[in-house]
Amino acid sequence: MEPGKATRTATDPARPATAPARPAAPRPPRTRRATGRGSGGWTPWLYLAPALAVLGGLLVYPIHQLGLISFLEYTQAQVSGGEPTSFKGFGNYTALLRDEQFRQVLLATVVFAAACVAATLAVGCALAVLLTRIRALPRLALLLAALGAWATPAVTGSTVWVFLFDPDFGPVNRVLGLGDFSWTYGRCSAFALVLFEVVWCSFPFVMVTVYAGIKAVPSEVLEAAALDGASQWRIWRSVTAPLLRPVLAVVTIQSVIWDFKVFTQIYVMTGGGGIAGQNLVLNVYAYQKAFASSQYSLGSAIGVVMLLILLAVALVHLRLLRRQGEHL
């Protein structure tokens, strides 16, 4: 060290002092995740428990009994205790697959249900769009009329439609000039008449649900599409319909379930399935097998087949919607 040069110490102002270490930030307190581990995660299930118990009693037990009977030899002889109940396995299902009438009824049910769903969605969506374009008073009148059709029991509505299209006293034939034409005599005309009634009592649900979905669409999006020069049909197809996909999924699945298991309209309007069973659907066919012929096991097997078909349709539809949502 050179003489005369002062030694710098830690207290020398020319030397920067070491900065004190900052205290560590306190960690936030750990909270229990609302995934069921904490006590709060079970709260929603406690509220849902009564409804789940009721649904379990109304659905699980009957479905279990339906599936059980479909694997047994269960006719009027077993019901009255004359013969013991025997296990048939898949024998009832094999008998159904070999039954030519069952295959024809299954095809007719699929085609009829598809036509009803398509017509119901078309009418309901068209009227939902109409509700957004008319004034308050006509809108209220249309909603009240639709709710009146929705609230009408199926038996009452079917009876009224049979009277309207009656060849002797019905006003429809007089207005259309069809004379004594019988709508329930021909196979296609009878199915068409039932389709009209099914659409009439089903479109209010689609109309109100889709109308609520349209009102929830942001107006800024629709205005932007209109400013870009898009037509009303293009706005519906490219803007409104994609945003309404969850709503349309609900009404589509619900319509498929309702129309695939139509019973009252067919039974009342065609007299139990039409002439020589030409207007049979699966639900009426199962009723005839189970109660008219006392073949309860075959009727239960038809019910199980219907349940599996509806589950498959619902799962496929939901899967397609999920894939479309991922590609958006």
Q: What is the DSSP string of 165-209?
A: T-TTT-HHHHHHT-TT--TTTSHHHHHHHHHHHHHHHHHHHHHHH
Position 309 scores a pLDDT of 93
Phi, psi of 283 (to 5 degrees): -65, -45
Q: What is the pLDDT of residues 274-307, one digit of tens each?
A: 998 899 999 999 999 998 888 999 999 999 999 9
Look at residue 58 and tell me if it is in a domain: no
Look at residue 6 and tell me if it is in a domain: no
Look at residue 308 and tell me if it is in a domain: yes
Q: Which DSSP category does 86 fall into?
A: E
Q: What is the mean pLDDT of residues 172-197?
A: 92
Q: Is the pLDDT of residue 11 over 50?
A: no
Position 57 scores a pLDDT of 83
Task: For residue 83, give both structure tokens.
Answer: 């013969």
Position 325 scores a pLDDT of 62
Q: CA angle at residue 301 from 300 to 305, to 5 degrees? A: 115
Contacts 24+ apart (CB under 8 A), 224-231: none
CA atoms within 13 A on the CB side of 287: 14
Most confident of 65-79, 106-120, 165-179, 311-325: 106-120
Look at residue 250 and tell me if it is in a domain: yes
Position 229 scores a pLDDT of 84
Position 20 scores a pLDDT of 53
Strand partners, 87: 72
Q: Is the pLDDT of residue 10 over 70?
A: no
| CA dist., res. 25 & res. 31, Å (int) | 18
Look at residue 36 and tell me if it is in a domain: no
Exposure string of 26-63, with b = 16+ CB inside 10 Å and e = fewer, is: eeeeeeeeeeeeeeeeeeeeeeeeeeeeeeeeeeeeee
Neighbours of 282 (CB within 10 A): 24
Top-confidence residue, 42 or 284: 284
Maximum alpha-carbon separation in the chain: 134
Q: Is the pLDDT of residue 1 over 50?
A: no
Top-confidence residue, 23 or 60: 60
Closest CA to 143 of 219, 243, 212, 96: 212
Position 40 scores a pLDDT of 60
Look at residue 52 and tell me if it is in a domain: no
Band of the pLDDT at 8, cuts 50, 70, 90? very low
Band of the pLDDT at 2, cuts 50, 70, 90? very low
Look at residue 10 and tell me if it is in a domain: no
Q: What is the mean pLDDT of the chain?
A: 85
Q: What is the pLDDT of residues 207-240, one digit of tens each?
A: 999 999 999 888 888 888 888 888 888 888 888 8
Say if CB 259 and CB 113 are below 8 A apart. Answer: yes
**What three-state secondary structure class fits 30?**
coil
Q: What is the pLDDT of residues 70-101, one digit of tens each?
A: 999 888 888 777 777 888 889 999 999 999 99
Q: Is the pLDDT of residue 18 over 60?
A: no
CATH code of the domain in which 306 resides:
1.10.3720.10
Position 116 scores a pLDDT of 96
Q: Is the pLDDT of residue 24 over 90?
A: no
How many domains is the chain partitioned into structurally? Answer: 1
The length of the chain in residues reads 328
Position 179 scores a pLDDT of 85
| CA dist., res. 326 & res. 156, Å (int) | 45
Q: Is the pLDDT of residue 66 over 50?
A: yes
**Percent of the chain residues past pLDDT 90, beyond the cut:** 51
Look at residue 296 and tell me if it is in a domain: yes
| CA dist., res. 123 & res. 203, Å (int) | 6
Q: CA angle at residue 80 from 78 to 82, to 5 degrees? A: 65
CA 128 to chain centre: 18
Q: Is the pLDDT of residue 58 over 70?
A: yes
Position 34 scores a pLDDT of 45
What domain range includes position 297?
90-327
Quote helix, strand, coil % in the chain, to nearest 5.
70, 0, 30
Position 7 scores a pLDDT of 46
